[in-house]
Amino acid sequence: MRTFLIVWFGQLISLFGSQLTSFALGVWVYQNTGSVTQFSLISFFTMLPGLVISPLAGALVDRCDRRWVMILSDSIAGLSTLCIALLIAIGQIQIWHIYLATTISSLSNAFQWPAYSAATELCLPGHHDL
């Protein structure tokens, strides 16, 4: 049960952080541009890529080591967020950077969720089956 709780907490923080970052970037874009269209495009790039690739992601996750899929998807999403933070810090951020980062995060989450769901049952002892 300890392994399950560690994995669950880590994935909770990761997914929450990714979604909160996407929302915060949308608000930042709206505050800096005043454009509702650009704000809406952040939501579009946060949702659509993940929805489109989800069927393929599920099939690929079933053929791979779920632990490594979770590690890689978390790392990729984290790196995209880090790149955005660095671009903001040096004052070189552009809207297309944010679109790209939210797309990458969405694609990463599309692989992370099925890997986490499949790995959950492997972490639980038999009497805690879902």
The C-alpha atoms of residue 1 and residue 4 are separated, in whole angstroms, by 5
Secondary structure class of 90 (helix, strand, coil): coil
The C-alpha atoms of residue 5 and residue 91 are separated, in whole angstroms, by 40
pLDDT in tens, 82-93: 999 999 999 999
The C-alpha atoms of residue 44 and residue 55 are separated, in whole angstroms, by 18
| pLDDT for the residue numbered 122 | 66
What are the CA-CA distances from residue 66 to residues 44, 71, 91, 111, 116 (Å)? 27, 9, 38, 9, 7
Residue 113 tokens read as 């969720």
* Amino acid of residue 29: V
pLDDT in tens, 26-39: 899 999 999 999 99
